[in-house]
Structure 1
């Protein structure tokens, strides 16, 4: 009889232990999910200003590239190539003065 009681108690302790183990595993999984979500939220919060700055910088780069192309075009519009004439002047101003006089 005592052996039966001992086996019954042992079985009940094993069931209790198994339930506690499952509960601890569930809590561990919930904690992992909660921590991961918290980390992701924090990272996203920190990334928002960086993403915004990146967008602004892309727009600025695009604007500057257009401005550079415009300036290149304006610089080329004053260039004239004349073959057969010796070029003694070193700047556009001195060249203009030479041919105007």
Structure 2
């Protein structure tokens, strides 16, 4: 029997992610790059990229590596998807920066 949660969708996504991580033997940096490529291929919204910013930073993902991934997948997923992904990544970074600034102001 499962218990009810106030955030069932987020809880399900978190459980799926944990399950995926437990079953995957990719190094952390490759895992993040693979996930970013999948997000671009699936035309994911900025919020999906936002969920990967902290793990990407923890693995040392650089802007150059991220660009390399987008360049590598462009012939497969198409220019429109790659350009949309770049815009959505920029939007996610903007959100992350705004949240960090707001948290820093709250601590001051």
Bigger CA radius of gyration: 1
When normalised by structure 1's length, the TM-score is 0.31
TM-score relative to the length of structure 2: 0.29
Q: Which structure is richer in relative contact order (CA contacts within 8 A, separation 6 or more)? A: 2
